[in-house]
Structure 1
């Protein structure tokens, strides 16, 4: 029987992650992304470079981990009383955040340092969780709701494609059109 790994919530591992993430954000603001190195981040965080390499592997995987954390929504979606309004406002905010220069940088970093796809999966889960909340509230109000995956396919996926490959026509009207299509209103 193998020993059970010790879980230390809020322990050293959490403190290391928080200090390294903070160091990345601070140094990115001070010296820019192109000047970031593992030794520079480690020195700012008060850890050894080997700690960073052991936990993240390389700078790109570290940047990816920081990006995923930055892409986590900070507040639940607004409850405005109807599915079209709730989902429309959420889609506008999502597009605005993802299409911003920092949002684009975080998307790039999240994908570039993600060899096994787990970071992309986590980012997708953030959006799905937000959509689930909007749909659950609408369902509780008695509104007909589409499936979460349908909303991802018809709202989130086209936005992400355009952000990454065809960055034009990315405005509130585009977000609302996508929501209208997903809700069968166009």
Structure 2
């Protein structure tokens, strides 16, 4: 009797996906958005371009997948028991992720997608919707504990946006200490 081959969760498909995602962030960092093709991604990832087309269909769909996957696998929503603790842990995670090797490339990618037609706008909106969903989950949990959280846009304005600007304009990587001072400012503004 011939042994059946068992599929491992994540197996080759996960390796291909990870290699393609890494190739995209590398190419965005090296060349910038719009300066590479699916063939370039495939060559950098060491896969056939037909594999990329079969899985994602278009370069824009691939780029959107890279951005959303990065966001959902980075900066997990902490649950420290208090909103203050959650905000500080979340901000430190975002700072760490943005300072990492893929953070600046993914952030530039999302901004570039904003001007890449309807598919790009959809990718940007999906990225922002996921970030908003993350923040809202943290704020809802705080409300359920009886705390009085700020609005999600306040977190974006006072914590996330300054870190994004720092990365985009090359003003240095955001550090956990910097993120902590941003949360302090938010707490002051929200308390007022």
Query: If the length of structure 2 is used for normalisation, what is the TM-score?
Result: 0.67
Query: Is 2:112 the counterpart of 1:112?
Result: yes
Matched pairs, number: 165
| Counterpart for residue 57 of structure 2 | 55
Measured against aligned partners, the alpha-carbon deviations of 1:97-148 in whole angstroms (never above 9, x if no partner) come to 0221211122223333441422222222222222112111111111111111
Question: 2:20 is matched with which residue?
Answer: 24
**C-alpha RMSD of matched pairs (Å):** 3.5
Given that residues 67 and 110 in structure 1 are in contact (C-alpha distance below 8 angstroms), is that contact kept between their aligned partners in structure 2? yes
TM-score after normalising by structure 1: 0.69
- 1:172 is matched with 176
2:140 is the alignment partner of 1:136: yes
Q: Distance in 1 between matches of 2:167 and 2:22?
A: 26
Structure 1 stretches of at least 4 aligned residues deviating more than 6 Å after TM superposition: 17-20
Contact 2:39 2:49 in 1 (8 A): no
Task: In structure 2, list runs of 5 or more residues that go unmatched.
Answer: 1-12
> Is this contact kept in 2: 1:72–1:123, CA < 8 A?
no
Unaligned stretches of 5+ residues in structure 1: 1-16
